[in-house]
Amino acid sequence: MQELLKEMHAWMDAYMKSFHTDDEEVMQGIRIKEIHTGYVTTHAIALAKHLHLSAHDVALAEIMGLFHDVGRFRQYSLYKTFNDAESEDHADLGLKVLSELDFMKKLAPEDEELVRFAISRHNKKEIGPVADRRHLVFAQIIRDADKLDIYRVLSPFLTPDGAEKAPKFIASDASQLVSPDFIEDFKAGRQADYRKLRTHGDRKLVRLLWVYDIYFNWTLREIVKRGYIERIIRYLPDQPGMEEGVARLRTYVEKRCKEEDSAGI
* 16 belongs to a structural domain: yes
The answer, yes or no, to whether residue 164 has pLDDT greater than 80, is no
Put residue 173 in one of left, alpha, beta given phi > 0 → left and psi -120 to 50 → alpha: beta
Q: What is the band of 28 on the pLDDT scale with cuts at 50, 70, 90? A: confident
Contacts of 239 (CB under 8 A, 6+ apart): 177, 178, 183
Angle at 246 between CA 245 and CA 247, to 5 degrees: 90
Domain match, 125 and 11 both = yes
The confidence score (pLDDT) of residue 258 equals: 95
* 10 belongs to a structural domain: yes
Of 9, 3, 7, 5, nearest in space to 34 by CA? 9
Domain match, 109 and 192 both = no
Between 182 and 264, the higher pLDDT residue? 182
Question: 3-state DSSP call for residue 199?
Answer: strand
Mean pLDDT of 135-154: 96
Number of domains in the chain: 2
The answer, yes or no, to whether residue 22 has pLDDT greater than 80, is yes
Domain match, 39 and 101 both = yes
Domain match, 10 and 94 both = yes
The chain-wide mean pLDDT, for the chain, equals 91
75-117 pLDDT tens trace: 988 888 888 888 899 999 999 999 999 999 999 999 999 999 9
* 262 belongs to a structural domain: no
Domain encompassing residue 227: 158-257
Q: Which of 26-35, 59-68, 89-98, 145-154 is predicted least confidently?
A: 26-35
* 227 belongs to a structural domain: yes
Residues 7, 103: contact at Cβ < 8 Å?
yes
Mean pLDDT of 195-207: 85
Domain match, 89 and 166 both = no
The answer, yes or no, to whether residue 210 has pLDDT greater than 90, is yes
Domain match, 38 and 84 both = yes
> The pTM is what?
0.92
Residues 201, 177: contact at Cβ < 8 Å?
yes
The answer, yes or no, to whether residue 162 has pLDDT greater than 80, is no
Of 99, 114, 9, 17, nearest in space to 56 by CA? 114
The answer, yes or no, to whether residue 58 has pLDDT greater than 90, is yes
Q: What is the band of 161 on the pLDDT scale with cuts at 50, 70, 90? A: low
Q: What is the band of 131 on the pLDDT scale with cuts at 50, 70, 90? A: confident
Domain match, 9 and 120 both = yes
Q: Which of 117-131, 196-210, 236-250 is predicted least confidently?
A: 196-210
The confidence score (pLDDT) of residue 262 equals: 87
Q: Please give the single-letter amino acid code of residue 135.
A: H
Mean pLDDT of 199-213: 90
**90-99 vs 70-79: helix crossing angle, rounded to 10:** 110
Domain match, 125 and 16 both = yes
